[in-house]
Chain A
């Protein structure tokens, strides 16, 4: 079973993501802050991370930077509010493997998940 870590500070969106991912057959672990994400990465060893860019405390970008500098190459899909933000925030440059834009198109998300996990 593929384990996906979802990092998202909004409880409803977290619920939505968890529901859809579980419906699609993924095992889901969650975190709602940057620090929590780093803990979950260490404890849960996920196969893939779906992470919001805007997080309270440590931002998604910082988490990503810490992961990559620690040699953690787990694929990461960042979730941004606008297409431009993925480019402008430098998420792709910082080591994200892909991005999706809110409101989330789940078909697109699943396609990208499949692509990264193959």
Chain B
């Protein structure tokens, strides 16, 4: 109902156009039909009138001729009376017929009509009454007949003159009437046109203001004024357009508000992050920073090139540029005297290329690690003097063991052994601390793997013999020289061999080997001990972790051997691999560079 009323009150553009065209068409058709009909009718009437007048004139002419012939029959000499009578009668018949025809045609009320009618009536009366009987016997008196014929001819002449003037009048009437009809048709068309113009004009007028309003609204929207609304008005579609526009603007405003809320939320989160956050555009200029980032990098302001913002922390600019240009995430570590920053770099997945950097201040952690390392170094340093004394004096005691009882000698041995263990532990701890601090150094030079293996075997053979273990050596012929730190290689071999010795049962077999491999020389320590359970294998390089050698057997050792071996192998740029099968034994292989393949160590040797 409402829709219907709305449509009635506010017709659509289409219905208005239809109305305008309809009115125009109806008027056009009506006026045209009327005009054409009217002209046709006029022509019909004119032709009818004209025809009748023409016939009347013809009849009148004939009548006049008949009377003239009558007169002619009466006149003349040389003919008999009878011939004259016969001719007169023939002429009189013709005149009678002509008079009858003329009378039937005279329909008008004009004086000339009336005159002819009464003249002819008088003539008939005369012929039927007075003249008839006489005429049958002899022709009438020519004077009388001539007078009478003269009357008729006069009347006919009068009528003819009247008819001629009437025909002129008729033609003039038709012309006037045609002109009036044409004027009427033109006026009707003009009125239709004016009505159509009014309707169309009204339509255009009613649309113009709302459309202009819409255009203004759209401009305001596009310029960011999301509160822009239009007044709903105009014909149906325009009003609908206005409503749709307002709806769209509301939705847009709502969406924009949501986005703004979301942005606000994100912004608050970013602002309150403990980690520093910096975004960088495609040119490497900073676009955004949060307070944490500004605290860590005081020069980080929007617009500043990132490299400048890093200031004294500035890392390798090439590496930084590569990270910024790349499409992959990466990490960077910035260090200076007082600061250590860990930087995570990730490309922004947006239309405008850029990068987001998340910066964590690692200074405290780095300081703690340094403190830990320093502590370890200090402790192991401080332990050395007392250890030197204990070891030295125990040795002194042993050297003078002749004066000691057997029990005392054994005590001295225990002291010496324990001291050796302690010295090893301190050395290992110090090595690890230095390795962590990147201060463990190696001096690589060519050295003979076979010789190093012999040295280590000689050093440890006495301990092997205590457990009746068979130590074999298998060094490949023609082995290239190692390019390594000989002391460290010895340390590696001692650690590995000690492990094999400790974990292999009494009477077991241990083999020290060396062979050429693709990347250098592989040193191997193999045993036929119990092997390492799969579950334990992942712990092998963990500090202070020790494998169980058996149900009851306790294992001595710090649990630092393999971690140190790994650090040393890494320093050489080598590789370590341990393969173990439960019940069958363990084989541990270390690949070190040879002089054939002088590989650069992974890390520069610390200075």
Contact = CB atoms under 8 A, between A and B. Distances in A.
Contacts, number: 50
Interface string A77-102: 00001111001100000000000001
Given A10-B389, A16-B392, A103 B419 contact: yes
A104 B434 contact: no
Contact of A88 (B389, B441, B487): B441
B271 interface: no
Identify which of B391, B423, B487 gathers the most chain A CB atoms within 10 Å of its CB.
Answer: B391
A87 B396 CA distance: 30
B490 to A, nearest CB: 12
A81 to B, nearest CB: 5
A84 B434 contact: yes
A102 B384 contact: yes
Interface in B579-607: none
A13 B388 contact: yes
A13 B384 CA distance: 11
B389 A87 contact: no
Contact of B385 (A19, A23, A102): A102
Q: How large is the interface on B (under 10, 10 to 19, 20 to 34, 35 or more residues)?
A: 20 to 34
Nearest to B395: A106
Nearest to A82: B430
Contacts of B370: none
A89 B430 CA distance: 16
B395 A102 contact: no
A102 B381 CA distance: 9
Given A20-B396, A103-B419, A12 B381 contact: no
Contact of A13 (B385, B423, B430): B385
Identify which of A12, A102, A103 gathers the most chain B CB atoms within 10 Å of its CB.
Answer: A103
Contacts of A20: 392, 396
25 contacts: A10-B385, A12-B385, A12-B393, A16-B388, A16-B392, A16-B393, A20-B396, A23-B399, A81-B380, A81-B384, A82-B384, A84-B434, A84-B439, A84-B441, A87-B441, A87-B443, A102-B384, A102-B388, A103-B387, A103-B388, A103-B392, A103-B423, A104-B391, A106-B392, A106-B395
Interface of B: 380-381, 384-385, 387-389, 391-393, 395-396, 399, 419, 423, 427, 430, 434, 439-441, 443, 487
Interface of A: 10, 12-13, 16, 19-20, 23, 81-84, 87-88, 102-104, 106
Given A16-B388, A82-B430, A103-B388, 11 more contacts: A10-B385, A12-B385, A13-B385, A13-B389, A81-B384, A82-B427, A84-B441, A102-B384, A102-B387, A104-B391, A106-B395
